[in-house]
Amino acid sequence: MSKKASIHDVLTGEHYISGNEAIAEGCLAAGCRFFGGYPITPSSEIAERMSRRLPQVGGVFIQMEDEIASIATILGASWAGRKSMTATSGPGISLMMENIGLGAMTETPFVIINVQRAGPSTGLPTLVGQGDVMQARWGSHGDYELIALSPNSVQEAFDLSIEAFNLAEKYRTPVIMLTDESICHMVEKLIIPTKSKIKIENRKKPTGSKKNHLTFKPDADMIPPMAAAGEGYNVFVTGLTHDTKGYPVITPEAQEILVKRLCDKILLNEEKIRLTEEYMTKDAKVLVISYGITARSAKGAVNLARKKGIKAGLLRLITIWPFPTKLIEELAKKVDAIVVAEINNGQIVKEVREATRKSVPVVLSSKLGGTVHTPKEILAKIEEVKKK
């Protein structure tokens, strides 16, 4: 970088910063201009950086009275037309669940950064965990879908922050960045590209008449264009089951139409949304599946296995939800066994088992939080399942 990047825009250049700081910069580069949050370890550095950076780019930072207010306020900001976000962890994400449902029901784009720590309850506030994976998907009541992403480096934390906003805007959905304490407190090199190289997606705006506007009439792609408050469309938004006008309709028929579409707009686009990384999977006989910080240990384990002559490979999940069921179903046909490594008591392993339909043995390499796997621990599982 010959020219110093302006603090009033994308901080193009080379940086040596933490995952949390990279996420803040990634969200700003994505066009986020509203942050509502409540301090919680290990995510607080995101709020701290946003409190300094947002006013520099003309954005709004507000520290709310609790996490429930934080998520409610970013929903409001999104409906005023701003890209908005919050960042939290364990107890905070639990408090946000009801309004994640409101976000899904009202198709409100926003991003939640969940810097996972080990739970349940207050658990290990300063130490890593990956125990919120199922909660991200099922935490709010009722049937809904959302998108969750998991980075494994500081660079990817930045890149996926942009992707998270792009997906939220494109599919009009809450997006959760399911990252973890290790990634977010780790300091690594980050390269922020020039603004022109960053692909930005913005929500579709309505083009028709403002009179009698149908707030929730989907296009052929199942996604309704989104008018902001104050634009003259008189939007009608409710968490009740509603029709295309947005009006409450308390019938099983309206429920079928609405909830089916809300789920399908994510599920039927799974392949388009899907991001994964495959490492040495071509001839692999033992497949390791992992994500986030754990995927780094898993890669080490695959390398160690290869040195020992075991044909191991790694599938790293970058998109966690919607789950890449079809991909794993295909990969399972080529391998003898699967090892799933995650810092919880076995969450994604259940999805993997369902995807493989018990065609191959699927074993769990588990840690309950507080520390990451060593490659040797995962290697031990690989050796356990390899065909003699």
Partner 1 sequence: MTISEEKVDDTILEAKRHPMDYLLRWDRLPHVWCSGCGLGSVLSCFIHAIAESGIDTKKIVVVSGIGCTGRASGYLDLDVFHTTHGRAIPFAIGLKLANPELKVIVFSGDGDLFAIGGNHIIHAARRNADITVICSNNFIYGMTGGQLAPTTPMGAWTSTSPYGNVEPNFNLCHLVASAGAIYVARWTSLNARRLQASMVEAIKKKGFSFIEVIPPCPTTFGRRNDYEEGIKMLEFFRENTIIRHGIDPGDAELNLGNKIVVGKFVDKEDKPTLSDHIARIQLFAKRR
Using CB under 8 A, list all residues that contact partner 1: 7-8, 33-34, 36, 52, 55-56, 58-60, 62, 64-66, 68-70, 72-82, 84, 98-99, 102, 228-240, 245, 247-248
| Minimum distance, C-beta of residue 55 to partner 1, in the bound complex (Å) | 4
Q: How far apart are CA 63 and CA 45, in angstroms?
A: 13
One-letter identity of residue 215: T
Gap between the terminal Cα atoms of the chain: 54
Question: Please, which residue, 229 or 380, has the CB nearer to partner 1?
Answer: 229
Q: How far is Cα 101 from Cα 118, in angstroms, rounded to an integer? A: 24
Q: Compute the least distance from the CB of residue 370 to partner 1, in Å.
A: 32
Q: By C-beta, is 254 or 280 nearer to partner 1?
A: 254
Nearest distance from residue 222's CB to partner 1, in Å? 23
What is the rounded distance in angstroms from the CA atom of residue 92 to the CA atom of residue 153? Answer: 23
180-184-190 Cα angle (round to 5): 135
By C-beta, is 228 or 280 nearer to partner 1? 228
H/E run at residue 158? helix 154-171
Residue 22 CB, nearest distance to partner 1 (Å)?
A: 21
Nearer to partner 1, 4 or 333 (CB): 4
Q: CB 382 → partner 1: shortest distance, Å?
A: 46
Task: List Cα–Cα distances, 211 to 79, 230, 244, in angstroms.
Answer: 19, 14, 15
Closest alpha carbon to 19 in 202, 182, 211: 182
What six digits make up the tokens of 127? 């130490």
Instruction: Compute the distance between CA of residue 300 and CA of residue 308 in angstroms, rounded to an integer.
Output: 13
Name beta bridge partners: 278.
Answer: 315
Q: Which is nearer to partner 1, 72 or 352 (by Cβ)?
A: 72
Q: Which of 339, 383, 381, 382 is closest to 360 using CA atoms?
A: 339
Q: Is 102 or 134 the residue whose CB approaches partner 1 more closely?
A: 102
Minimum separation from the CB atom of position 105 to partner 1 (A): 10
- Of 74 and 312, nearer to partner 1 (C-beta) is 74
Work out how close the CB of 70 gets to partner 1 at its nearest, in angstroms, rounded to a whole number.
Answer: 8
